Amino acid sequence: MMALIGKRNGVGILFGHKVYGFTAWWLWRSYYLGNLPTLEKKLRVMADWVIDLFFKRDVTRVKTVTEERFMEASAKHTEIQAYRDSSMIRAKESI
């Protein structure tokens, strides 16, 4: 049984021996890599892991055109709903 804990850390019990730290992390990744179905997927995952070793996590996000349109439609819907709600409140107050 093994588990990853954060970046480059892991814990596990293998054949009755406790394994932890970088060693457990490396064993888990090796096992995972060995169980991927095709050579192409293994190479892609391995390349991603090598890049991860040398660079910090990328926290940027690029919006797509579809996401931008969705955000605009959501904003318009929210504005329309707020206008309707305020109109209903004014109508009730005038009664």
pLDDT tens digits for 13-72? 888 999 998 888 888 888 899 999 999 999 999 998 888 888 776 666 666 777 777 778
Report if pTM > 0.85. no
Total domains, the chain: 2
Range of the domain at 69: 61-95
Are 48 and 83 in the same domain? no
Are 18 and 48 in the same domain? yes
- Reading the block at residue 11, the tokens are 């814990």
Are 37 and 80 in the same domain? no
Q: What is the pLDDT of residue 90?
A: 64
Are 10 and 46 in the same domain? yes
Are 44 and 66 in the same domain? no
Sign, Cα dihedral of 69, 72, 78, 80: negative
Are 65 and 95 in the same domain? yes
Instruction: Choose the most confident range, by mean pLDDT, from 47-51, 77-81, 88-92.
Output: 47-51
The H helix count followed by the E strand count for the chain is 3, 3
